């Protein structure tokens, strides 16, 4: 018999389900990243930017295919339908073709996720409206055997659209929204032609559409999972897990554009760990790596969720602080230093020299200039005695000396 303590060891149904679902994910995906497959709000800025760019590019590819293929079917319509019916369908096709062409020619990737949502919405709205209009038009005509067979092809359009979702790396929430819209459109088309509708056939088609939605969602989530893993490997520093130099430059450019567009503050801090070379020389690189990882965790714990920490190289780090003026950044950095950056292998506190620059106060003209100014002030802090924060020009009050944790 099971003892009372054995029940506590038995996994719950939810734990068992999650563990089984985890086996379906790519091995490169961490268990903590599972939530990123569900909602888009947990994605990093770079992940959102790259996903948005990929989505818009695939929308444009889809629009190109539809723009070419939509009018071609009109030749088949001409062979089997009466002229008035063909003319109506041909008009719908030309309008849809023009809309797809405009989407292809005038929509460009911006890296903004809401622009990507708008592109997907437009892509699926065009054939959805065409489907409802053509379905309603066909329902008003008495079709012969040959024309009825061709008209059946129009009924497959919702299935093509639903299957098309598989080419986009979408979260579960995004898949549910898109699939629901397509299902509602299919239901609306059935309602508008309910007097002539074959309801058993329609119900079977609706159920099949739901099954296709489930399959395409799995395919879409699989794409997203691989994308999350690949982007993480590309933008993260392998030792510390924070953003790498290359990805950090992209983030800084994005934050700079946002700050300029909304006329808000943007602070950048350049951090250099004091006498770090002595740790590698005296205790070895493994000890140095351990200090770097501990220091990174300490800084992440002190920074806000909106701040971005990146490893610039070696023992140098950069903190990007959006919507932050110089005084707020100075206080935040002083608090971070006082809460401790970690310990050296001999037990003494780890200190750092920090240079701080802010977009509005320092009147810089570019993200590169802002970062360069923070770098220069970091070197000024080093030459002024280390273990200090420098946030003024050399001719002004030069620095503030933060207190290290004892």
- Is the per-residue pLDDT at 8 higher than 50? no
Structure tokens at 13: 């149904």
Confidence band for 99, pLDDT divided at 50, 70 and 90:
very high
Find the DSSP H helices in 236-358.
245-262, 276-283, 285-302, 326-338
pLDDT band at 57 (very low <50, low <70, confident <90, very high): very high
Mean pLDDT, rounded, for 246-251: 91
* Mean pLDDT (whole number) for 96-111: 93
pLDDT band at 251 (very low <50, low <70, confident <90, very high): very high
Predicted confidence band at 146 (pLDDT cuts at 50, 70, 90)?
A: confident
Res 275 pLDDT > 90: yes
Q: Above 70 in pLDDT, residue 370?
A: yes
Look up residue 369 and give its two tokens: 């200039």
Query: What is the band of 233 on the pLDDT scale with cuts at 50, 70, 90?
Result: confident
Collapsing DSSP states into helix, strand and coil, what is residue 112?
Answer: coil
Q: Alpha-carbon distance 82 to 216, whole Å?
A: 37
Orientation of helix 245-262 relative to helix 199-235, angle to 10°: 110
Does residue 34 have a pLDDT over 90? no
Residue 20 structure tokens:
């089984």
Instruction: Flag whether pLDDT at 216 surpasses 80.
Output: yes
User: Is a pLDDT exceeding 80 seen at residue 209?
Assistant: yes
Tokens at 3, concatenated = 């003892």
pLDDT at 243 over 50: yes
- pLDDT tens digits, residue range 151-164? 878 878 889 889 99
More confident residue, 154 or 190: 154
- As a whole number, mean pLDDT of residues 230-246 equals 90
Average pLDDT over residues 58-69: 94
Q: Decide if pLDDT at 284 tops 90.
A: yes
Residue 184, pLDDT > 80, answer yes
- Computed over every residue of the chain, the mean pLDDT equals 86
What pLDDT band is residue 20 in, cutting at 50, 70 and 90?
low
Report CA dihedral (293, 297, 302, 307) to the nearest 10 degrees.
80
Q: In this structure, are residues 377 and 355 in contact, taking their beta carbons and an 8 Å threshold?
A: yes
Residue 11 has pLDDT above 70, yes or no: no
What residues have CB less than 8 Å from 203, skipping those under 6 apart? none
Q: Per CATH, which fold does 245-390 belong to?
A: Alpha-Beta Plaits (3.30.70)
pLDDT score at 95:
95
Structure tokens at 240: 């510390």
Per cent of the chain over pLDDT 70 is: 87
At residue 375, does pLDDT exceed 90?
Answer: yes
- For residue 6, the model assigns a pLDDT of 46
- Complete edge-to-edge strand list for the sheet that includes strand 308-313: 308-313, 316-322, 266-273, 352-358, 389-390
pLDDT of 302 strictly over 70: yes
Taking only Cα atoms into account, the Rg of the chain, rounded to an integer number of angstroms, comes to: 29
Share of the chain above pLDDT 90, in %: 56
Which among 15-19, 140-144, 165-169, 332-336 has the top mean pLDDT?
165-169
**Confidence tier at 393 by pLDDT (50, 70, 90):** low
Average pLDDT over residues 205-209: 88
Q: Which residue has the higher pLDDT, 325 or 132?
A: 325
Residue 70 has pLDDT above 50, yes or no: yes
Task: Work out the burial of residue 186: count CB atoms within 10 Å of its CB; fewer than 13 is exposed, 13-18 middle, 19 or more buried.
Answer: buried
For the segment 43-59, the average pLDDT, to the nearest whole number, is 92
Q: Rounded to whole angstroms, how far apart are CA atoms 189 and 133?
A: 8
Residue-level pLDDT at 122: 94
State the Cα–Cα distance between residues 57 and 333, nearest whole angstrom: 40
Q: Where are the domains of the chain?
A: 25-235, 245-390
Q: What is the mean pLDDT of the segment spanning 167-176? A: 94
Checking if the pLDDT of 338 tops 90, the result is no
């Amino acid at each position: 018999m099971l003892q009372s303590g054995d029940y506590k060891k038995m996994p719950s149904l939810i734990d068992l389900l999650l563990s089984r679902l985890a086996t379906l994910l790519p091995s490169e995906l961490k268990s903590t990243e599972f939530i990123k497959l569900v909602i888009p709000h947990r994605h990093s800025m770079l992940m959102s930017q790259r996903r948005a760019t990929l989505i818009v590019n695939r929308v444009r590819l889809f629009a190109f295919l539809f723009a070419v293929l939509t009018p071609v079917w009109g030749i088949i319509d001409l062979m089997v339908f009466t002229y008035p019916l063909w003319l109506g369908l041909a008009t719908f096709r030309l309008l849809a073709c023009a809309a797809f062409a405009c989407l292809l020619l005038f929509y460009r990737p911006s890296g903004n996720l809401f622009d990507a949502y708008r592109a997907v919405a437009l892509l699926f709205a065009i054939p959805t409206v065409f489907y409802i209009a053509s379905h309603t038009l066909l329902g008003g005509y008495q079709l012969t055997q040959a024309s009825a067979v061709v008209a059946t092809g129009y009924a497959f359009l919702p299935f093509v659209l639903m299957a098309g979702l598989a080419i986009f790396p979408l979260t579960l929430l995004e898949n549910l929204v898109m699939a629901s819209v397509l299902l509602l459109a299919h239901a609306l088309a059935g309602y508008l032609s309910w007097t002539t509708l074959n309801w058993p056939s329609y119900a079977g088609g609706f159920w099949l559409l739901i099954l296709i939605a489930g399959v395409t969602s799995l395919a879409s989530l699989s794409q997203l999972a691989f994308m999350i893993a690949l982007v993480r490997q590309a933008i993260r520093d392998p030792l510390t897990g924070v953003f790498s130099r290359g990805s950090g430059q992209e983030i800084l450019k994005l934050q700079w554009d946002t700050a300029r567009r909304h006329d808000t503050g943007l602070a950048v801090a350049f951090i250099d760990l004091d006498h770090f070379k002595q740790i590698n020389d005296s205790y070895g690189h493994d000890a140095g790596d351990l200090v770097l990882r501990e220091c990174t965790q300490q800084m992440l714990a002190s920074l806000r969720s909106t701040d971005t920490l990146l490893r610039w190289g070696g023992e140098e780090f950069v903190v990007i602080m959006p919507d932050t003026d110089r005084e707020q950044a100075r206080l935040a950095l002083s608090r971070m230093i006082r809460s401790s950056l970690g310990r050296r292998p001999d037990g003494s506190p780890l200190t750092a020299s920090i240079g701080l620059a802010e977009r509005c106060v320092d009147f810089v003209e570019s993200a590169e200039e802002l970062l360069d100014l923070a770098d220069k002030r970091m070197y000024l802090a080093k030459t002024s005695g280390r273990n200090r924060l420098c946030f003024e020009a050399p001719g002004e009050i030069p620095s503030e000396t933060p207190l290290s944790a004892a």
